Chains A and B, each alone.
Chain A
Amino acid sequence: AQSVTQPDIHITVSEGASLELRCNYSYGATPYLFWYVQSPGQGLQLLLKYFSGDTLVQGIKGFEAEFKRSQSSFNLRKPSVHWSDAAEYFCAVGATGGSYIPTFGRGTSLIVHP
């Protein structure tokens, strides 16, 4: 079974600083990988996804993520954080074989200081 680990429960950055949120996955083959964002009181919105090909994927709102097979990681990055980026971020993995069920990490809460 697949699993996802987001080692950071909270991350605090200053507005304008760069950001990296960590995600490690466990799966026997190359998985499908996703990053979602959740604003307070809202559902989850897809930021970006990796299926195959180029290991650096671009998403909405200026986010990008890099798939590193050797490290089983899919870290989310943004070069300059805006106050509106404060939210909960979830990494998710989907199996590429068998029953396809998205599995989510526990989330990282991003706090942005002015």
Chain B
Amino acid sequence: AQKVTQAQTEISVVEKEDVTLDCVYETRDTTYYLFWYKQPPSGELVFLIRRNSFDEQNEISGRYSWNFQKSTSSFNFTITASQVVDSAVYFCALSVPDTGRRALTFGSGTRLQVQP
């Protein structure tokens, strides 16, 4: 079975601070995909990144960066110089294609509040 843990339920920062959202996953499969989604108050999920299990390179996209560490089964997400518009719930998710279960297993989400 797969599991995704986001231990931080809610984080509050002041604008321009850096913030890291933690994600720890569990799976016995060697082939899997990890995702991060942003869910603003409107409810619509906004895709941020997908990473496959064979690519441990860290990725940077503007103010966003992701640190994938297989050794610790973590896929952490950092927002640099946070902005009020970053306020949302962020979900980490996992899919394991080889099991035929292609649906995403989501973590419980981290609510980020960026104060002006």
A binds B: no
Interface of A with B (CB < 8 Å)?
none
